[in-house]
């Protein structure tokens, strides 16, 4: 049978001007075959056999990648000269370059896309995303290999659920292949990792949090890329990551999507949260430019494994992601053991909790590290901040950054009050898995210029608000 011309793996079908008579048959044929086109090979990958903290020699190279630094920060400027130029009347204001095609847009002049970085910003951003895809590929395989069928079934995850986790690992192979091809021969390779979990529920919670900052870290830079064609491919991969994050919330018995808008955060926040779980990388691994902020521990981080998830103290496996710990959850407080609607938190399409994990007015107790700590691959990155002493907690969720003052600051600890604000009426802004940062200034920023806050950030963490 005739073949179709293919381009980038997508069949292109020619449209004809006249209709063609089609023979009518009573049943569809089941014997027709087609020859598949040449399929691009996957990037080389393997199951990492080594897991645990880094125990090797001291690194010979430390710190983030750097060149000449022109200024301590990027100055804040007013909107550009053409920011208000376009007249929003709904009418066309310029000649159309082709039928049904309005004027404007980026890369719409017919030039063929090349899918390559066009700047250091592009390369470093995509490289960060690739580090993220590699750890997810390993993490999903590691969890399936580490915990038994019985372990999964004890918390209500069946063979079909486990296969879904395996399929998500397969998705990461595709994502790693795509980004490696974009970056070229110096693309980051697989590393070894160290996960802060000891059972299935902690594993699922860590996956839920890891995919949260993986998704948000890409949203934060996507529209700033010089290479719009690369941004299109990243969007198509990160849309899958968003579905993964929702599935892990469902596996954890949480409401799957408790927000109206997904948050995007700066690359340095995502790298801060990712790097602690990378033990070591190959000797010639491409380094990243992004900052590693100090650790922020939430001492009463809400625990989704508890019936009263807000009534907790020190129930995490460590800072940064502040992954839940089940160690001190007594059987009568374990929500997965309840069969009461509103309390039960076993895996499900959706769950409502009669007692919320957090709420406006809640005291949140915080503790943070000083900068200067070795961290990340081979302990070769150093935590750093240019901020002064922390004065505010910044709650970063959806379209909002809301600040609350730190109170009773004693050394490297304080508390603050969870704010009561909405994105729009009816949409509580602090909900879901959000970002909590300590700052020295309550700087006004919006989703598109959130990186302006980086010089004022002292520490970064994830907060399980819902």
Full DSSP string of 269-290: HHHHHHGGGEEE--TTPPP---
Structure tokens at 454: 């980086």
The 3-state DSSP class for residue 38 equals: coil
Give the pLDDT of residue 54.
Answer: 86
Measured in residues, the chain has a length of: 466
Topology, domain 120-464: Ferritin (1.20.1260)
Q: What pLDDT does residue 247 have? A: 98
State both tokens at 25. Answer: 């048959």
The pLDDT profile of the chain, 466 residues, written as one tens digit per residue, is 333 333 444 333 333 344 455 556 567 666 777 777 888 889 888 888 679 888 888 888 888 988 888 888 898 889 989 888 989 999 999 998 999 999 999 999 999 999 999 999 999 999 999 999 999 999 999 999 999 999 999 999 999 999 999 999 999 999 999 999 999 999 999 999 999 999 999 999 999 999 999 999 999 999 999 999 999 999 999 999 999 999 999 999 999 999 999 999 999 999 999 999 999 999 889 999 999 999 999 999 999 999 999 999 999 999 999 999 999 999 999 999 999 999 999 999 999 988 999 999 999 999 999 999 999 999 999 999 999 999 999 999 999 999 999 999 999 999 999 999 999 999 999 999 999 999 999 999 999 999 999 999 999 999 999 9
Contact 297, 367 (CB under 8 A): yes
pLDDT of residue 8: 44
Q: Which residues contact 71 (CB under 8 A, 6 or more apart)?
A: none
What confidence score (pLDDT) does residue 17 get? 43
- 10 DSSP β-pair partners: 7
**pLDDT at residue 1, rounded to an integer:** 37
Which of left, alpha, beta for 34 (phi over 0: left; psi -120 to 50: alpha)?
Answer: beta
Sign of CA dihedral 61, 62, 65, 68: negative
Which of 327, 322, 325, 323 has the alpha carbon at shortest distance from 298? 322
Q: Identify the pLDDT of residue 56.
A: 87
Buried b (16+ CB within 10 A) or exposed e, 1-35: eeeeeeeeeeeeeeeeeeeeeeeeeeeeeeeeeee
What is the value of pTM for the model shown? 0.91
* Structure token digits, residue 229: 């064609």
CA dihedral (454, 455, 459, 461) in degrees, to 10, reads: -10
Q: How buried is residue 348: exposed, middle or buried, by Cβ count under 10 Å (0-12/13-18/19+)?
A: middle
pLDDT score of 23: 59
Res 43: pLDDT: 84
Question: Tell me, what DSSP letter sits at residue 339?
Answer: -
Tally of CA atoms within 13 A in the half-sphere of 166 that contains its CB = 9
Positive/negative CA dihedral, 46, 49, 52, 57: negative
Handedness of CA 255, 241, 134, 436 (dihedral sign): negative
């Amino acid at each position: 049978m005739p073949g179709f011309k293919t381009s980038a793996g997508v069949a292109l079908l020619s449209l004809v001007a006249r209709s063609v008579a089609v023979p009518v048959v009573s049943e569809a044929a089941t014997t027709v075959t087609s020859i598949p086109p040449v399929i691009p090979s996957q990037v080389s990958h393997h199951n990492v056999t080594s897991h645990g903290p880094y125990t090797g020699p001291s690194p010979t190279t430390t710190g983030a990648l750097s060149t000449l630094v022109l200024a301590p920060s990027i100055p804040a400027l007013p909107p550009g000269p053409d920011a208000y130029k376009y007249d929003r009347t709904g009418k066309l204001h310029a000649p159309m370059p082709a039928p049904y095609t309005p004027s404007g847009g980026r890369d719409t002049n017919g030039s063929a896309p090349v899918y390559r970085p066009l700047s250091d910003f592009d390369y470093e951003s995509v490289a960060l995303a690739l580090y993220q895809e590699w750890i997810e590929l390993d993490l999903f395989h590691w969890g399936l290999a580490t915990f038994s069928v019985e372990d999964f079934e004890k918390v209500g995850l069946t063979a079909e659920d486990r296969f879904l986790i395996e399929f998500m690992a397969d998705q990461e192979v595709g994502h790693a292949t795509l980004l490696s091809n974009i970056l070229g021969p110096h693309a980051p390779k697989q590393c070894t990792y160290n996960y802060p979990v000891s059972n299935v529920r902690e594993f699922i919670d860590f996956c839920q949090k890891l995919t949260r900052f993986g998704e948000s870290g890409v949203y934060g830079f996507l529209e700033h890329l010089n290479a719009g064609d690369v941004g299109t491919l990243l969007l198509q991969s990160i849309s899958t990551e968003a579905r993964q994050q929702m599935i892990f919330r469902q596996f954890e018995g949480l409401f799957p999507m408790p927000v109206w808008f997904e948050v995007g955060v700066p690359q340095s926040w995502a790298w801060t949260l990712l790097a602690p779980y990378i033990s070591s990388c190959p000797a010639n691994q491409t380094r990243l430019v992004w900052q590693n902020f100090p650790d922020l521990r939430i001492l009463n981080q809400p625990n989704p494994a508890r019936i009263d998830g807000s009534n907790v103290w020190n129930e995490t496996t460590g800072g940064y992601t502040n992954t839940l710990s089940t160690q001190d959850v007594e059987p009568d407080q374990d929500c997965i053991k309840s069969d009461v609607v509103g309390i039960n938190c076993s895996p499900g399409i959706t769950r409502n909790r009669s007692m919320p994990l957090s709420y406006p007015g809640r005291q949140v107790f915080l503790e943070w590290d000083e900068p200067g700590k070795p961290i990340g691959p081979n302990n070769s990155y150093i935590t750093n901040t240019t901020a002064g002493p922390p004065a505010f907690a910044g709650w970063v969720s959806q379209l909002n950054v809301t600040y609350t003052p730190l109170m009773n600051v004693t050394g490297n600890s304080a508390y603050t009050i969870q704010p009561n604000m909405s994105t729009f009426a009816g949409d509580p802004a602090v909900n879901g898995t959000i970002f909590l940062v300590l700052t020295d200034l309550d700087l006004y920023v919006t989703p598109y210029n959130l990186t302006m806050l980086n010089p004022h950030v002292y520490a970064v963490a994830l907060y399980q608000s819902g």
